[in-house]
Structure 1
Amino acid sequence: MGVLDGGASAAWFGHDPSPAAELHGSIVRLTADFDADSRQWIEVPSIELRRLLAGVEKDLADFLDLAAGWVTEHLPDHSERVVEALVQALALPPRN
């Protein structure tokens, strides 16, 4: 999430709603629909949001590992393309 590092504060999914994240000191305000008249938000300490996002990234990486194993076993002729498509769709950071 770029807002934690001083970057962009909005995500675009190609349609409404218009989510946003704003950094206010050490608090991140997450808004489901920034353009709504009755916008609602939650506030999360930035350190907690980093922890939560790291957990999500780990879960997605674990899923990718399982899916890659399944695809290799069941669709060996297509495994490289399917795994690459999953990597792009999940947009995970490089593993250390």
Structure 2
Amino acid sequence: MWDIRITRVFAAPRAEVHRAFAAPGQIDATFTEASGSDLLAGEAGGMRLRVEFHDEPDDRTRLILIQGPCPAETEGQVREAWSASFTQLDKVLARH
């Protein structure tokens, strides 16, 4: 078992990505820690979850997601689920 690390850049400012990611119903997770618009931490799918938000040039945001420990046999499913969530998040951000 190991942690999964996924990095994705969104075409929106950090505070906007953070707000959309943390909105109720957007992500199936329970967040127990937050640090401004830089960090969310909690649990998703029975695993620890840490999400970092970093400024990028041109008002973009680099999101780093770390989730684990993840059994090797479920890593592909977890990555696919986050990919689908990030695609949905792109749509939410495009409406703003």
Q: What is the TM-score of this pair, normalised by structure 2?
A: 0.28
Please state which structure has a larger fraction of its residues in strand: 2
Please state which structure has a larger fraction of its residues in helix: 1
Q: What is the TM-score of this pair, normalised by structure 1?
A: 0.28
